[in-house]
Amino acid sequence: MARNARGAPPGRKPAVQFAAVAAAGIFALVGVLGFIPGVTTDYGDMTFAGHHSEARLLGLFQVSILHNALHLGFGLAGLVLARTVAGARIFLAGGGALYLGLWLYGFAIDRESVLNFIPVNDADNYLHLALGFGMLALGLLLSNQVGTGGRLDRPFDRP
């Protein structure tokens, strides 16, 4: 099958861009769902930030207004970055590294202190671990021969 300049079949985006759009869409959706009573339990107990927020997305993940806004913003940034292969890679690999850092942060802090301003609980920590490894793997392993550190692109090699 013929491939376009980005290494994908004509009319299709490279897999790394598809993965970035999917991940970004999920983050944006989660950000919106965190503001919907019923999907978020104890919605009336949600605070702007801090560990005192008793609201839980799907009854499991501790959320606050700041937490939801961060998910929404991260998802929208990912949708913008996914317009290019390089941006999709940055979103997935960089976001994966960021979530692994957040996972470590969640274990390092005292959850009853002011340092737990996002807020995070055990369910959030395990989700951050899975997201970190998953996004990092997608960003680094979906190559499509563009921006992978392979041979240099020379003008006379272009179609």
Residues 30-67: tens digit of each pLDDT: 999 999 999 999 888 888 877 777 888 898 888 889 98
Rounded to the nearest angstrom, the gap between the alpha carbon of residue 99 and the centroid of all alpha carbons in its chain is 8
- Is the per-residue pLDDT at 145 higher than 60? no
Q: What is the mean pLDDT of residues 98-116?
A: 84
Query: What's the confidence (pLDDT) of residue 108?
Result: 85
- Is the per-residue pLDDT at 149 higher than 70? no
Q: What is the mean pLDDT of residues 73-85?
A: 95
Query: What's the confidence (pLDDT) of residue 51?
Result: 75
Q: How far, in Å, CA of 85 to CA of 17, rounded? A: 6
DSSP string, 112-137: TSTT--S---HHHHHHHHHHHHHHHH
Contact 63, 34 (CB under 8 A): yes
- Is the per-residue pLDDT at 103 higher than 70? yes
Q: How far, in Å, CA of 66 to CA of 121, rounded? A: 15
Can you tell me whether residue 79 is helix, strand or coil? helix
Q: Would you say the pTM of this structure is higher than 0.75?
A: yes
Domain layout of the chain by residue ranges: 15-141
